[in-house]
Chains A and B, each alone.
Chain A
């Protein structure tokens, strides 16, 4: 069945007239028309009644759930966070594609905190190792200056200050005798060394 034709062209403007959304020119035209057209006055009454009924009906509907806003914000946060880039390989990837995949995976953002933790722990361990020296115990050895370049197992060189004074008349035989008493060796031809406890 074909829809009923509007009685007048003005009838199609009556909802706009009722909601006051016509242009000034249209509004004046409708007001003039309504003065002489009872059918359009009847139509305007119906439009006004139905608009009120529709508004009341829609206002009585439930609104969205209180969780709707949280859903929106969750979606916003999800969509605005940079998603980890997914690297997809083809069916038969070339070797450089596989290498790129491995390296890219290593440098994904999600690896960064773990990598940083490993570096920090490693650095701390290295620092402790250097400070503790070859013996592995800090503070039991004379100190890093004496340990540098000395092979493991070599006894530490004792630090002893020996003050010797001779009278002006002392002869070589007296000096040799003294060094001999200190245990500096028995050979008279070689240079003297002394290990003093």
Chain B
């Protein structure tokens, strides 16, 4: 199959195309999930170098587990479930090694040139403060906000990959949002700025 056609293939078909050991298909799957998984890991571990280390582990686990995917959940749920487990392992190891975090300033991209430099600078500053506010939350809260707000996963999907009841997901998202609101206020970000 031509790689250009793979761009239109569903995640499930792409996953099947990776078996047995099709590196071209896997490269497409990697490209599709690389940044999403990395951003999720950044939200959880808040360290670019560690996030990349875990990303490699996640992708390796996906490659090795291709044949074990049963198709009972969405491919994205399966992948983020692996990422969740690897992130937990990574945090445990990093904590035991007393690894320091990377300042959030270092992980922010430079602002692309826009039509209104003042507006761009303001947006960039707000994003920076929001990232700092997210970093002050507990791991549980920032992880669930990432899944609910950024990945837009449903409550049952989040429950499945975190192995917690659906009602716990609903209340945790609610409290995480309340904490983010407080943290943003603490950073000086008002609702009008968002």
A4 to B175, CA, bound (A): 8
Contact A3 to B34, CB < 8 A, known contacts A61-B108, A64-B51: no
Q: Which residue of A lies closest to B39 (CB)?
A: A58
Q: Once the chains bind, are A13 and B170 in contact (CB under 8 Å)?
A: yes
A-side contacts of B30, CB under 8 Å: 69, 72
Write the nearest CB–CB distance from B103 to chain A, whole angstroms: 13
Contacts A/B (CB < 8 Å), 28 sampled: A12-B170, A14-B174, A15-B148, A15-B177, A46-B181, A50-B149, A54-B130, A55-B149, A56-B127, A56-B130, A58-B39, A58-B43, A58-B146, A58-B150, A60-B109, A60-B127, A61-B42, A61-B109, A63-B38, A65-B52, A68-B38, A68-B56, A69-B34, A71-B56, A72-B30, A72-B59, A72-B60, A80-B21
Give chain A's interface residue range (CB within 8 Å of chain B): 35 or more
Contact residues, B48-64 vs A (CB, 8 A)? 48, 51-52, 55-56, 59-60, 63-64
B-side contacts of A61, CB under 8 Å: 39, 42, 107-109, 131
Write the nearest CB–CB distance from B1 to chain A, whole angstroms: 19
Q: Once the chains bind, are B52 and A50 in contact (CB under 8 Å)?
A: no
Number of residues of chain B lying within 8 A (CB) of chain A: 54
- Which residue of B111, B150, B153, B175 contacts A54 across the interface (Cβ within 8 Å)? B150
Contact A52 to B148, CB < 8 A, known contacts A12-B171, A61-B42: no
A64 to B47, CA, bound (A): 11
Chain A interface helix/strand/loop/mixed: helix
Contact A12 to B173, CB < 8 A, known contacts A62-B48, A65-B52, A68-B52: yes
**Which residues of B are interface residues toward A (Cβ below 8 A)?**
21, 23, 27, 30, 34-35, 38-39, 42-43, 48, 51-52, 55-56, 59-60, 63-64, 107-109, 111, 123-124, 126-128, 130-131, 134, 145-146, 148-150, 152-155, 157, 170-171, 173-175, 177-178, 180-181, 184, 189, 191, 194
